Amino acid sequence: MTVLDAGPLARRLAQALFVLWGAFTGAFIALYLLPSDPVTLMLAQRADGPSAVIDPRQAAAIRVEYGFDQPVWRQYLTLLGRAVHGDFGTSVQTRESVSHLVTGALPQTVGLAGAALLIAVPLGVALPVLSACSRHRAVSRLVDSLPAVGVSIPSFWLGILLLQLLSFHWVVFPATGNTGIRSIVLPALTLSLPTAAVIAQVLGRSLRSSLGSAYVELAKAKGASRSWIVFRHALRNASLPAVTVAGLVGGNLLGGAVVIETVFARNGLGQITVNAVTNEDLPVLLGLVVLAAAIFVVTSLVIESVYPLLDPRIRRS
């Protein structure tokens, strides 16, 4: 790697670290400065009820154990130093390492998001390409209207609808659980259809703009077919905005998976997030926020690395 190549790479890495630091700091301010007491909540749950009598000495000992008795600035520096080494402390509720808790549930959520992305990207590309290649205006209008419908449907409502039809009315797929490939079909469809609609909308606009360019008119004058023009010229030029949107919605899939996992009762980050919010488990919530920021940072870096492959002008610059 040359010095010229190392400069932009170092700048991107510095920006990525800044984003992670900003996410950590913002989450710390939002979580640790709010008037909440996770220790009292934990002891009340262990004593079977919020009206239970809390032992002040036991509560004080737990606050010392988790550092809640320290000044805010010292808590921040301690947590930041640990987070740099991948240690986000221990869950207040389960006494389990946050890193171990999150990484144990992460494969299930990543698998669901990955399956949804495998459906969303081909479907999101196929719809505008089909519309652009069709010679029938009625077919093109029908296909162009589908993404708008997909975007307007809330994902949780779509999940409930799929459950009603394909799990309860027609017993085709299981309604809940993490066992086998069949159990991931309905959650993946629920996540993928709105995502595919967003990709199709952006790619469709870019394709229509590219098909009106001068080089397309030149290709038509040379006798090129419409399909050849779409696949050989217009699709590649129109793909940059769609790649950007695909990367962003791909990062959002993990956030959407948290909601969908709750609808389909799947064990993953969704269940951990719900429990952490309900129990005010601050270390777990902080780790989840930093994980989400890291996913977006990695996604952005991957998108920037794909741009030069699609547009030689970026590679030359």
What confidence tens digit (pLDDT) does each residue in 200-251 have?
888 888 888 887 777 777 777 777 777 787 877 777 777 777 777 877 777 7
Q: 302 lies in which domain range? A: 100-316
> 4 pLDDT exceeds 50?
no
16 alpha carbon, distance to own chain's centre: 17
CA distances from 6 to 10, 304, 315 (A): 6, 15, 15
Whether 58 and 86 map to the same domain: the answer is: yes
Supply 222's token pair: 């040379």
- Of 98, 117, 133, the last residue of a domain is 98
- Model's pTM, two decimal places? 0.78
206 Cβ contact partners less than 8 Å away, ≥ 6 residues apart: 237, 238, 239, 240, 241, 242
Domain count, the chain: 2
Whether 94 and 105 map to the same domain: the answer is: no
Whether 188 and 286 map to the same domain: the answer is: yes
Whether 116 and 57 map to the same domain: the answer is: no
* Weakest mean pLDDT among 29-38, 111-120, 129-138: 29-38
Whether 235 and 90 map to the same domain: the answer is: no
314 Cβ contact partners less than 8 Å away, ≥ 6 residues apart: 307, 308
Q: Which CATH number is 160's domain given?
A: 1.10.3720.10
Whether 250 and 300 map to the same domain: the answer is: yes
Whether 76 and 171 map to the same domain: the answer is: no
- Of 98, 131, 156, the last residue of a domain is 98
Supply 126's token pair: 């196929």
pLDDT digits (tens, 9 = 90+) for 9-33: 778 888 888 989 999 999 888 887 7
- Of 44, 78, 98, the last residue of a domain is 98
* Weakest mean pLDDT among 41-55, 70-84, 154-168: 41-55
Whether 140 and 169 map to the same domain: the answer is: yes
Whether 237 and 284 map to the same domain: the answer is: yes
